[in-house]
Amino acid sequence: MKRSILITGGAGFIGSHVVRRFVTAHPDYRIINLDKLTYAGNPANLRDVENAPNYTFVQADICDFDTVCSLFKEHAIDGVIHLAAESHVDRSIEDPFTFARTNVLGTLSLLQAARHAWNGDWNGKLFHHVSTDEVYGALPLTGGMFTEQTPYAPHSPYSASKAASDHFVRAFHDTYGMPTLVTNCSNNYGPCQYPEKLIPLFIQNILQGKPLPVYGSGENVRDWLYVEDHAEAIDTVFHRGTPGESYNIGGNCEISNIQLARILTATADRLLGNPPGTSERLITHVQDRPGHDLRYAIDSTKLQQELHWHPATPFEQGIEKTVRWYLSHQG
């Protein structure tokens, strides 16, 4: 094999799309998928590639330093794409310790294992850390976007843990010379997402006739990115990005939560054959969550100009594909 790449969290939502892309688009790469298989990891996400000759699955915890070290040695790992993380903000508010353990200490475990395995021979090596735009904090409703120079200002235990992991990755580059990359992405949507997140939760509740809980007034704005476009961006940055740099990945698609709820209900009703407005009546405003960031917006100019990546999936097309997928995967 030309390369041996460790992808962490590859049974999860974004991770499974990244694994599938690398297994199919790079048949001369050995892809090792390391996933603990917590509640959000599902091997069924990769049924179509699980028997591919260049794919290996390993169930383990990234915090298990000895196991991670043995994987680097056994498979001669020369590249890491690190996606494994606790990522649900509401869960981080309830249990910040788990987020600190997985997102901070787990990242440190991988970095240290890579440093020991590569032992200063950085030629052909790369550690690509996948992070979030939430590390930047929040923006006002009008004006401004997150760039790679935006100061970090995390507001939730989740975003604080991801910010800390980003800092460790950069510290390993600056201290040891390890070739690293950091990508910070906006909100992803698409097939295979665990139903605690907004879009799959709403689709599931629409099917069951349950309320669609919208925090506060629903004016909070997110920049939505189709997950397959994100996987393509990771592929692009991994192969053409400059070590030591960071790249923002966004969908150029800002939508408020209340707008999103209305788009989802209208799309679902159309595909289900319901009369227009049937599911919109399920929208229910609930008490806002603590520290709820008002707006995220990614400026991905650097990635687009330097590496020539652009989001390819219009939101209307992506959301229809997403709703159709969940309708066909009920139960």
Q: Which active-site residues does the annotation give?
A: 133-134, 158
Q: How far is CA 237 from CA 133, 152, 246, 264, 327, in A?
A: 16, 21, 9, 31, 33
Amino acid identity, position 270? R
Integer Cα distance of 177 and 120 in angstroms: 8
Phi and psi torsions of 221, nearest 5°: -110, 135
Neighbour-count burial of 312, counting CB atoms closer than 10 A to its CB (0-12 exposed, 13-18 middle, 19+ buried) = exposed
Integer Cα distance of 197 and 201 in angstroms: 6
285 three-class SS: strand
Integer Cα distance of 295 and 299 in angstroms: 13
Residues with Cβ within 8 Å of 322's Cβ and at least 6 positions away in sequence, in order, are 189, 190, 191, 199, 203
